[in-house]
Amino acid sequence: MKLGARKLALLIAVTGIVLLLVFVMISTPKSPVALIRVVDAAGNPIAGAVITPDGLRPKPGPYSSGHHGWHADRIGVPNDPVATDKNGYGRVPYPKYVYERIETGEISFSVDHPDFVPDRPSRAVSISLPAGAPWREWAKHAWGRIRHKALIARPDPVVLQRGATLKMSIQSGPAGCRDRPLFAQVSSGWARETNFWIRPEPGVIVTRRLAAGTQAVRAVWFDAKDSAWFSDVVRVAAVAGQTNELSVDLQSGIAVRGQLDASVPRPIKNGRVVAHIWPQAHKAEDSPPQWHAWTAIREDGSFDIASLPQGVLELVALSQGFVSTNYPQKYPVVTNDITVTIGMEPTARLEVRVTDDRGNPLKDARVMTWPNVHYGKWSATILLSDCYNSSDGFLSKLTTNADGWFQTVPDFEGTSDASGLAVIPNVPANVREFSVGHARFTLPAVESKSSGKRRQASVKLIAGQTNRVSVQLEPKERSPIAHY
């Protein structure tokens, strides 16, 4: 009897352990979770603050300098908004790896609450060293954690600040300007902030969430034809808890008219031009109010873009077989309508033959390039991926997804066919590298002196010609990139 009771007890114990392990496996989150706390200046928890993840940084080590956008479809972890609870905590799942085996050490995110200034901080979410770190690094790291009494990851709380109040009203403008909504732009602000501004009366716009410090602000108004009118960009010395009142004059927007130069044969095919405008005497790195617009180029090479504010104008253009020279082309201090001729130069055609590790043609490999334009010698954007209008954000013509702002550019990528051939039809000749994406294969990693291993292939293009190269891929699991 005693032996039977012991067997039964052992069976129950084993069953309990198995059930516990199953429960742990089921309940363990598929991704690590960062516990982010949001508080006010006095340390009191803020409930209902919305945390929206948007970026990742690798752990300290050879790859720590890069900041990567959080693309849920690529990394498999959603970056859905998370609201803080009554204790101010929000649970944010994040990917273990930024890419391949490069481990995540920091996440960036925005924090928004209707009673406080919006913030976009970043926080360390893991304090362990990457796998494979040398033992000397582990010893130094462990001693530092013991010395600072920081044995587990506790992200510093996000402290939201009370804002200053800014009230803007129309002093003078076109007839009827007080009958339609007034909008405004502020430093680092977005057009679609739905709870940032309130309109207590016609012709007036107010925010109580302006960050303390010197801010650049501009009023924007649209007439019945959706043509934009602008005030000057004004600097405001904002102090939390205090009110600044501005009475502004509205001026009609200016127009840019022009054509591509005569080197581009007519009829023009698939032509687009983008205009970006900075306020004069404001540094791009300070993120002042800026304006963006685009339009298609007509077959005769002409175009026009209306309703732009005064300022420093930058233009880029692309058509079948040609791209604007020295992009962006800059026109300083534009205060009236302007007519321009955009200088153009030939692009290149790139044909890439893709094979697998055995030398067989590989179908469905996506070959990509990313020629960048640097507006204001500051922000980098893939050329012509930004065919959007700032006005659409104010007028609610943009969809809620990212496609409203940025799109892929078919000119700069191609997918391989059954013969393994991928064609990139229309790429600037200054492009020097490309990448290849595939479900099962990848480019072999190459060592870079400045940024560790990367999976890009080099190419030297000749403008106006078809350039041909071949690449052989390897299985993804063969040699993943890791920190060490």
3-state class of 283 per DSSP?
A: coil
The domain that holds 137 is classified in CATH as 2.60.40
pLDDT at 74 over 90: no
Note whether residue 259 is domain-resident: no
* Together in a domain, 81 and 154: yes
Across the range 456-469, mean pLDDT stands at 97
Note whether residue 192 is domain-resident: yes
The Cα–Cα gap between 293 and 305 comes to 7
pLDDT at 23 over 70: no
Q: Give pLDDT, residue 484.
A: 83
pLDDT digits (tens, 9 = 90+) for 126-161: 877 777 767 666 566 556 555 544 444 578 999 999
Confidence of residue 16 (pLDDT cuts 50, 70, 90): low
Boundary-marking domain end, from 252, 286, 301: 252
Note whether residue 446 is domain-resident: yes
* Together in a domain, 399 and 269: yes
Boundary-marking domain end, from 134, 159, 184: 159
Note whether residue 481 is domain-resident: no
Percent of the residues in the chain that have a pLDDT greater than 90, as a whole number = 75
Note whether residue 133 is domain-resident: yes
Confidence of residue 195 (pLDDT cuts 50, 70, 90): confident
Letter for the amino acid at 359? G
Boundary-marking domain end, from 159, 190, 225: 159
pLDDT at 12 over 70: no
* Together in a domain, 128 and 145: yes
Report the candidate in 227, 225, 226, 207 with the shortest Cα–Cα distance to residue 217: 207
Q: How far apart, in Å, do the first and last CA atoms of the chain sit?
A: 59
Note whether residue 112 is domain-resident: yes
Across the range 153-179, mean pLDDT stands at 92
* Together in a domain, 235 and 297: no
Confidence of residue 260 (pLDDT cuts 50, 70, 90): very high
* Together in a domain, 169 and 109: no
Confidence of residue 29 (pLDDT cuts 50, 70, 90): very low
Q: Give pLDDT, residue 147.
A: 57
pLDDT digits (tens, 9 = 90+) for 262-285: 999 999 999 999 999 999 999 999
- Which contacts of 74-77 are long-range, i.e. CB under 8 A and separated by 24 or more positions? 75/99, 77/31
* Together in a domain, 201 and 332: no
* Together in a domain, 23 and 101: no
* Together in a domain, 445 and 352: yes
* Together in a domain, 13 and 42: no
Query: 155 with 123: CB under 8 angstroms?
Result: yes
| 351 Cβ contact list (under 8 Å, min separation 6) | 421, 422, 423, 424, 466, 467, 468, 469
* Together in a domain, 38 and 129: yes
Note whether residue 483 is domain-resident: no
Q: Give pLDDT, residue 338.
A: 97
Note whether residue 23 is domain-resident: yes
Across the range 47-52, mean pLDDT stands at 97
Q: Give pLDDT, residue 128.
A: 77
The whole-chain average pLDDT of the chain stands at: 89
Q: Give pLDDT, residue 400.
A: 44
- 1 vs 314, more confident: 314
The domain that holds 229 is classified in CATH as 2.60.40.1120
Across the range 271-300, mean pLDDT stands at 96
Query: Domains in the chain: how many in total?
Result: 5
* Together in a domain, 118 and 205: no
* Together in a domain, 78 and 136: yes
pLDDT digits (tens, 9 = 90+) for 387-415: 999 999 898 764 444 445 788 999 999 99
Alpha helices in 76-221 (DSSP H): 135-147
Q: Give pLDDT, residue 143.
A: 60
pLDDT digits (tens, 9 = 90+) for 85-111: 999 999 999 999 999 999 999 999 999
Query: 390 with 305: CB under 8 angstroms?
Result: no
Q: Give pLDDT, residue 88.
A: 98
Q: Give pLDDT, residue 149.
A: 47
Range of the domain at 465: 348-365+416-475
pLDDT digits (tens, 9 = 90+) for 426-456: 999 999 999 999 999 999 999 877 678 899 9
Across the range 329-338, mean pLDDT stands at 96
Q: Is the dihedral of CA 255, 347, 330, 382 positive or negative?
A: positive
53-67, 107-121, 330-344, 423-437: least confident range: 53-67
